[in-house]
Amino acid sequence: DGGITQSPKYLFRKEGQNVTLSCEQNLNHDAMYWYRQDPGQGLRLIYYSQIVNDFQKGDIAEGYSVSREKKESFPLTVTSAQKNPTAFYLCASSPTGGANVLTFGAGSRLTVL
């Protein structure tokens, strides 16, 4: 079955450490996205990529980095520069054109200890 796989589901990190969240899709979608979700704040866009080897900053990119070396993969690194990294992170993908309907992964919950 096609879909998006995020890993790990839960991640704990000490302050000052970088962590990388994995996102893989087998939907043959061109575009991929990372959103951050905090309680009561909805989804905020971190980074997006509409084509391999290219990506753009979203609304809250500071303290995060991404790469898009393969169409299927869009990993997100939460760096030590991110002041408040504890959150639920959602990866999504969409095909080019049309209504741009996003397909989401199941999410990764990062907790900084």
Q: Quick one: which of 23, 32, 66, 102 contacts other proteins (CB under 8 A)?
A: 102
Q: At 36, which amino acid appears? A: R
Q: Minimum Å distance from CB 90 to other proteins?
A: 6
Taken as a whole, the chain contains a residue count of 113
In degrees and rounded to multiples of 5, residue 36 shows phi and psi of: -115, 135
| Cα–Cα distance, 86 to 15 (Å, whole number) | 10
Q: Minimum Å distance from CB 106 to other proteins?
A: 5
Q: At CA 48, angle to CA 43 and CA 50, rounded to 5?
A: 135
Q: Minimum Å distance from CB 88 to other proteins?
A: 8
Residues engaged in binding other proteins (CB under 8 A): 4, 6, 33, 35, 40-43, 45, 48, 50, 90, 92, 99-107, 109
